[in-house]
Structure 1
Amino acid sequence: MPVLTAGAGLHETLALLTSQLRPDANHQEDMVFLQNVFSEKSLGYLMKIHEKLRQYEKQSPAPVLHSAANLAEDVVEELQSGPMSSEEKELLHLLTSPHLKAVLSVHDTVAQKNFDPVLPPMPDDFEDELEEESVKIVRLVKNKEPLGATIRRDDATGSVIVARIMRGGAADRSGLVHVGDELREVNGVSIIHKKPDEISQLLSQSQGSITLKIIPAIKEEDRLRESKVYMRALFDYIPLEDKATPCQEAGLPFKRGDILQVVTQDDPTWWQAKRVGDSNLRAGLIPSKHFQERRSFRLSRKDRQGSSGEGSEAGDSDYLTYEEVSRYQQRGHERPRLVVLIGSLGARINELKQKVIAENPHRYAVAVPHTTRPKKPQEKEGVEYHFVAKQQFDADVLNNKFIEHGEYKENQYGTSIEAIRSVQAKNKMCLVDVQPERRKTPSCNNDDYADPSDEDLQEMRQSAIQIDHQYGHLVDRVLIKEDSASACSELRGILERLERETFWVPLGWVRT
């Protein structure tokens, strides 16, 4: 009689068992029945699938991506933004088909382990508590995540009201809890006389199945479709340090430069948003633009009142909050990009720029600046500079013909829009270096600018801090110059990516 090995699988066991079934005079019908069942092809296929799944489970696989559906949506947007080849049209058709979208949705659910456990039966005593169908019993599965809802105490009635539903959270996914609902009980515990902090703690400590007794709002809010509003954060935000937030656990921390998808702006004080690229599908609370600007203004005014009184009105940089942005990728028919290099005092960005241009003069070029200083014997008009009279220079400044200008040793220097366009007309990427006016210095591209002396070292550090504070929100990439060769290589890589990758740019930059 054949013997099974220790590593035999279900399919092998089933085949061996089937082969050993012999009709018996007393149990012939039973044996024939079992033999037919065990010989069924569908059962054999199920056994093979079971074995494959067990083998896969032993490998402890980890998902490569938690948000395949979102990635597919981004690809669809990119494909629809311009002309498509036949292959791209076929890809668009596949990505928008209902079956593939359903498969990607299932993939994300499994990848995030976002499946619900088996719920216990509803307690019998709840049936007696229903008040003429005006009370709703809601059972949610929360696992280790927050409930995804905030509450408030109604000033007039003292009732505990659902203030907001966080998009993507447990409450939002259920579709059973809405803004305006009155909360009566949590897991059978009355919360009528409890403080909001006690209720929030009760909700956060509940794991797995959580049962809510709710009086529905008179008019339930419609579940709105997520917006496609994207914002670049221009400040750092830490919810745990914000005493004004209605729920610190529901807050979304972010840093300056992060791209946020604002999914709802229904609340004028607290928006709901997600970080782009974050695998967490649940939205979090962030201060609205108006609310954050008001707070920044009050803090700035308090700082000025507490100072010696020498300060003036705060600049716009004190109130920077969010900037609406959109994806942008350079297309073949568009002009080459303008790249502005900015550095602190003594950073020698002009030297770095000239090295990159010298390595590839057919691809990069510099806009010839204007100046009012006298031409030196070895210089040529339109090569080192465009030499103009001071009267003409001042008139061009008034007519907004310069993107930047400054004064150095009583001479004017500036970069004109026309000079930039002349570089782009040659199908070259225009590189411009500017220096914020800490000391009056030129934006020139030759040896008029001298190296800083030893006593300028402290000023160089202060210059870097001030540039980051005033202009850091405008910077797309930061290059730390350790040595000339590595800095030059890194800058080349940045310039090459500008031509082929997608970037987030201010919404006003994108032509409609």
Structure 2
Amino acid sequence: MTTSHMNGHITEDSDSEAKNVDLASPEESQKHREMAVDCPGDLGSRMMPMRRSAQLERIRQQQEDIRRRREEEGKKQELDLTASMRLKKLAQIPPKTGIDNPIFDTEEGIVLESPHYTVKTLEVEELLTSLKHIQHVLVDPQSQEDISLILQLVQNTDFQNAFKIHNAVTVHMNKASPPYPLISNAQELAQEVQSVLKPSHHKDGQELNALLNAPHMQALLLAHDKVAEQEMQPEPLTDEKIYENIGVYGGETVKIVRIEKARDIPLADMHGTLTFVLIPSQQSKPPPAKETVIHVKAHFDYDPSDDPYVPCRELGLSFQKGDILHVISQEDPNWWQAYRDGDEDNQPLAGLIPGKSFQQQREAMKQTIEEDKEPEKSGKLWCAKKNKKKRKKVLYNANKNDDYDNEEILTYEEMSLYHQPANRKRPIVLIGPQNCGQNELRQRLMNNEVDRFASAVPHTTRSRRETEVAGRDYHFISRQAFESDIAAGKFIEYGEFEKNLYGTSIDSVRQVINSGKICLLNLHTQSLKTLRNSDLKPYIIFVAPPSQERLRALLAKEGKNPKPEELREIIEKTREMEQNNGHYFDTAIVNSDLDKAYQELLRLINKLDTEPQWVPSTWLR
């Protein structure tokens, strides 16, 4: 059975309705149209009033529900309209510097004031995880291609850094802030309200008007407007205010650069201050190459107080010939930064020393100027011009192998520490002028420690004598073989005496070294360059004479009576040897007393076994 409502009446239909209507008379059918056709007549007439009343009550209830629902929807629309109008009013108010009253979009709606609101940010790792999950779900080719492109973007370093900066700015801008005044003319608005309420006779209006006219309320509104006016004034644009919270983004320091435009700066349409916020680049930079410290031996004296070209005399480092310098920086080719060996603890800052090329150029120019100042004497005009030509070649042809090249301008020599092996002793070379005691010192070492020291067997072209043993006294070879060895560079030094050639070969010195003994040599200064260019690693000791008077007394003990000019010649020869060959010397001994000089010589030789020594770096390459 189905029931339908037609104009406030109820009709009931059934499958037997047509049959029942045909059996009834027209009058009965008209009279009982609204009663149940399958009920007895007396029952139907008795139950109809009660059934109709319940149905009407149900209709009224339904209409009341509809009315109530419409009222609720109207109230909701009114609230939405009120919120929208409030948002519009807030949008029209000029904001304070920065965002002090954030409006956040949440899942529930719009939150106007949320002092305890916590902004949730998405991390890069979460974004990557979500994309990878979607990549497994969406299997069609187009989706896979799109997700792959997005993954490449998200995995890019620049994108990730920008994402971190975005999160940091979002958290900063959405921080809870104290209440901020919406208007600064509350007193004026109150006066307008009073003018509207003045003619009103309504009780509530009169009470509100009296309240607004109260002195305390007037004072409160005045104080509010004064405070609001100060709060709403724009703050001065200072670096501290603008950038106080952007100092560090993504773990990197942000730098602020300000440019004040001057009149001579041709920047169109620019005035005032131009401020740059510099965020460090995230591109990986190769670490700066650590400059290697080199160790050099100085071959000249230097005093910064006498140098007009030193950038800062207070930072200049003075040194003497033979000092070892630790160069820590050659960034400036003209002025290096260095420490003296042994002064690192006492010297807090590195000092300035002339660079090698700068010093060579300066010395070459000095020699050229001195050569130009020399008077051209008769008989030496051509020679002087020739020498000047060679010296000038140093300035313009420094790389050519001329007779006078850069090697003659001594500056620095790179050195390294070397500890001699126990089974390969360095040869000891004693150098000095005649009558200074180097031969006596050598002989005393040979006699006192026969098992430790030995001399190299020389070569000769003369015939062997009856008392001589080949290989012990001399190596006897033909003149042709001797001259062939000279051409091959096999001799450290050689000479001719009474038409016979004599010389000391490199191989003969090497034989002593291979035997485990220390080879003692007395050589001329002209032989030092050849010896140092070999692989023998010699230790060269210069034996210098004492003062002229002391030298006379020492020679007198030996039964010698030198003339004053002979003594002066020895002293002059000493200066000449030091000037021309001092860069070859490892150390020097002043022979003021032969016994003391012998003990000092022995101490220096023993130190070679216990302490590393500075040697040319070319020896160890």
**Residues 337, 429 of structure 1: 8 Å contact kept:** yes
- Does structure 1 residue 301 correspond to structure 2 residue 368? yes
Deviation sequence 1:178-203 (CA, Å, 0-9, x none): xxxxxxxxxxxxxxxxxxxxxxxxxx
Deviation at 1:465, TM superposition (A): 1.0
**Residues 317, 470 of structure 1: 8 Å contact kept:** no
Per the alignment, residue 351 of structure 2 pairs with 284
2:414 to 324, 348, 351: 324
Deviation at 1:473, TM superposition (A): 1.2
Q: Secondary structure at the match of 2:596?
A: helix
**Residues 344, 435 of structure 1: 8 Å contact kept:** no
1:501–1:291 CA distance, 2 compared to 1 (3 A): same
**Residues 456, 512 of structure 2: 8 Å contact kept:** yes
Q: Give the letter aligned to residue 230 of structure 1.
A: H
Describe how 1:328-347 pairs up with structure 2 within 5 A.
328-332=418-422, 334-347=423-436
Per the alignment, residue 412 of structure 1 pairs with 501
Name the one with the larger helix percent: 2
Deviation at 1:474, TM superposition (A): 1.2
Per the alignment, residue 584 of structure 2 pairs with 474
- 378-387 or 259-268, which deviates more: 378-387
Q: Give the letter aligned to residue 353 of structure 2.
A: I
**Residues 297, 318 of structure 1: 8 Å contact kept:** no
- Does structure 1 residue 401 correspond to structure 2 residue 401? no
Deviation at 1:297, TM superposition (A): 0.8
Describe how 1:213-292 pairs up with structure 2 within 5 A.
225=290, 227-278=292-343, 279=345, 280-292=347-359
Deviation sequence 1:318-376 (CA, Å, 0-9, x none): 411000111111233x5111122111133242232121011111111111112334555
Deviation at 1:317, TM superposition (A): 6.0
Per the alignment, residue 449 of structure 2 pairs with 360
CA-based RMSD: 3.3
1:460–1:509 CA distance, 2 compared to 1 (3 A): same
Q: Secondary structure at the match of 1:326?
A: strand
1:483–1:265 CA distance, 2 compared to 1 (3 A): same
Q: Secondary structure at the match of 2:519?
A: strand
1:502–1:340 CA distance, 2 compared to 1 (3 A): same
Deviation sequence 1:397-419 (CA, Å, 0-9, x none): 11111122234455433211111
> In structure 2, what is the Cα distance between the partners aligned to 1:224 and 1:486?
50
**Residues 293, 329 of structure 2: 8 Å contact kept:** no
**Residues 327, 337 of structure 2: 8 Å contact kept:** yes
> In structure 2, what is the Cα distance between the partners aligned to 1:437 and 1:460?
17
Q: Give the letter aligned to residue 469 of structure 1.
A: Q
Deviation at 1:224, TM superposition (A): 6.7
Q: Secondary structure at the match of 2:434?
A: coil
- Does structure 1 residue 431 correspond to structure 2 residue 520? yes
1:235–1:340 CA distance, 2 compared to 1 (3 A): same
1:326–1:360 CA distance, 2 compared to 1 (3 A): same
1:382–1:350 CA distance, 2 compared to 1 (3 A): farther
Percent sequence identity over matched residues? 37
TM-score w.r.t. the length of structure 2 is 0.43
> In structure 2, what is the Cα distance between the partners aligned to 1:410 and 1:342?
26
Per the alignment, residue 459 of structure 1 pairs with 569
1:306–1:373 CA distance, 2 compared to 1 (3 A): farther
1:341–1:374 CA distance, 2 compared to 1 (3 A): same
1:318–1:452 CA distance, 2 compared to 1 (3 A): farther
Q: Secondary structure at the match of 1:335?
A: coil
Q: Give the letter aligned to residue 568 of structure 2.
A: Q
Q: Secondary structure at the match of 2:525?
A: coil
> In structure 2, what is the Cα distance between the partners aligned to 1:406 and 1:269?
44
Q: Give the letter aligned to residue 608 of structure 2.
A: L
Q: Secondary structure at the match of 1:479?
A: strand
Deviation at 1:378, TM superposition (A): 4.0
> In structure 1, what is the Cα distance between the partners aligned to 2:483 and 2:566?
31
Deviation at 1:486, TM superposition (A): 2.0
Q: Give the letter aligned to residue 507 of structure 1.
A: S
Deviation at 1:484, TM superposition (A): 2.5
**Residues 345, 464 of structure 1: 8 Å contact kept:** no
> In structure 2, what is the Cα distance between the partners aligned to 1:500 and 1:407?
40
> In structure 2, what is the Cα distance between the partners aligned to 1:356 and 1:362?
10
> In structure 2, what is the Cα distance between the partners aligned to 1:465 and 1:409?
31
Q: Secondary structure at the match of 2:580?
A: helix
Deviation sequence 1:93-122 (CA, Å, 0-9, x none): xxxxxxxxxxxxxxxxxxxxxxxxxxxxxx
Q: Give the letter aligned to residue 424 of structure 1.
A: I
> In structure 2, what is the Cα distance between the partners aligned to 1:226 and 1:289?
17
Q: Secondary structure at the match of 2:301?
A: coil
- Does structure 1 residue 382 correspond to structure 2 residue 492? no
> In structure 1, what is the Cα distance between the partners aligned to 2:610 and 2:561?
37
Deviation at 1:431, TM superposition (A): 1.1
**Residues 371, 413 of structure 1: 8 Å contact kept:** yes
**Residues 232, 324 of structure 1: 8 Å contact kept:** yes
> In structure 2, what is the Cα distance between the partners aligned to 1:346 and 1:329?
33
Q: Secondary structure at the match of 1:246?
A: coil
> In structure 2, what is the Cα distance between the partners aligned to 1:354 and 1:275?
37
Deviation at 1:462, TM superposition (A): 2.1
Deviation at 1:453, TM superposition (A): 6.3
> In structure 2, what is the Cα distance between the partners aligned to 1:422 and 1:287?
43
Q: Secondary structure at the match of 2:429?
A: strand
Describe how 1:104-253 pairs up with structure 2 within 5 A.
225=290, 227-253=292-318
1:372–1:350 CA distance, 2 compared to 1 (3 A): farther
**Residues 437, 594 of structure 2: 8 Å contact kept:** no
> In structure 1, what is the Cα distance between the partners aligned to 2:291 and 2:307?
26
> In structure 1, what is the Cα distance between the partners aligned to 2:577 and 2:473?
27
> In structure 2, what is the Cα distance between the partners aligned to 1:404 and 1:452?
31
TM-score w.r.t. the length of structure 1 is 0.51
Q: Give the letter aligned to residue 433 of structure 1.
A: N
> In structure 2, what is the Cα distance between the partners aligned to 1:329 and 1:238?
32
Stretches of structure 2 lacking an aligned partner (at least 5 in a row): 1-236, 244-277, 392-403, 528-559
1:474–1:412 CA distance, 2 compared to 1 (3 A): same
Deviation at 1:483, TM superposition (A): 2.8
> In structure 1, what is the Cα distance between the partners aligned to 2:461 and 2:318?
50
> In structure 1, what is the Cα distance between the partners aligned to 2:468 and 2:562?
27
Per the alignment, residue 109 of structure 1 pairs with none
1:238–1:407 CA distance, 2 compared to 1 (3 A): farther
1:485 to 574, 595, 598: 595
- Does structure 1 residue 509 correspond to structure 2 residue 614? no
> In structure 1, what is the Cα distance between the partners aligned to 2:567 and 2:351?
44
1:469–1:453 CA distance, 2 compared to 1 (3 A): same
> In structure 1, what is the Cα distance between the partners aligned to 2:466 and 2:437?
25
Stretches of structure 1 lacking an aligned partner (at least 5 in a row): 1-126, 134-215, 439-450
Number of residues of Structure 1 aligned to a counterpart in Structure 2? 289
Deviation sequence 1:406-462 (CA, Å, 0-9, x none): 344554332111111111121001111102369xxxxxxxxxxxx996464333222
Q: Secondary structure at the match of 1:345?
A: coil
1:494–1:286 CA distance, 2 compared to 1 (3 A): same
